[in-house]
Copies of this chain bind each other. A is one copy, B any other.
């Protein structure tokens, strides 16, 4: 148990933050990021405006935390399983990511958009969300290379950038994120 350093002043009420995240998550799922106002989140959670901005700098910060707190558990990372070729596993992973994105409507798109106007949020979003997912793929590809399933000449880090880049590019241009894309990406990464 960590020694709590007993900060002075009134302690934060956990319920306030939880209520805000719960309200934000529910409303964004129901209506989409664009169509949810901060005022609505405050009304549903029954919390005062300042209490939100005491915890998060922007609406995007709150929604990112509410939305992706468990997102890491929704998509199973790529891993080696007996009898499963690396290429097929990458394809499976991509399809799960696409499904998750489809279920979450345009939330990722909105958060990426928010990051373009806010360097601080851009870094936070990258460090806490984008980078870890990129590294999962890098590690997986490096292992595939070690096992001889990926040609030796390729750079796993660069391949991961291409893979995520292709998927961002399609997402941000409003184009379909379907199994055909997953197949094409996996084929390009592993193909000759």
Chain B residues with CB below 8 A from A113, complex form: 112-117
B168 x A169 contact (CB < 8 A): yes
Count chain B CB atoms within 10 A of each CB in A110, A122, A168, A192 and give the residue with the most: A168
Q: List 11 A-B contacts (CB under 8 A).
A: A109-B116, A112-B116, A122-B174, A153-B192, A154-B188, A158-B166, A162-B166, A164-B165, A166-B166, A169-B169, A172-B172
A interface, CB within 8 angstroms of B: 34, 106, 109-110, 112-117, 119, 122-123, 126, 130, 151, 153-155, 158-159, 161-162, 164-170, 172-174, 184, 188, 191-192
Choice from B106, B110, B174, B192 contacting A123 with Cβ under 8 Å: B174
Q: Are B161 and A170 in contact (CB under 8 A)?
A: yes
